[in-house]
Amino acid sequence: MIVFSSAIMTVSCSRQPHYPPAPQQGSDIVIDEASLETDVPRFFTYRHENRNVNFFVLKLATGIASYLDACVTCYPKHLGYECKEGYVHCRACDMRYSIYRLEKGIGGCYPIRINGRMENGKYLISLDELRKHA
């Protein structure tokens, strides 16, 4: 029984996370700024050609930014990040980064920044931006 439980845990821990679908409108992902809680990343999955592109949107006092739920180093493991107490934590290598310093992060296990823009109280990410990461 212990071997079976360990096998189940190993399989479930190595699976890529799946999040709610990203709201689309035309050629953009459209996220209402009012739906974002300050300092709390909101994770989404965009499906393109049978591949999931996981990402998160983060509202801080300085603005809104978006990142892939992946880094260059650990991406092959497809485990992504979790957020706890103001930090994003890589599930693959155990590195953690303050959400207030993500925009300055380059390389290592920092989440990969994706471009987005604000328009009329909405945060938009071009579908082409996500497709290039699929």
25-34 tens-digit pLDDT: 999 999 999 9
Section 33-42 average pLDDT: 96
Residues in the chain: 134
Cβ contact 15:22 at 8 Å = no
pTM, to two decimals: 0.85
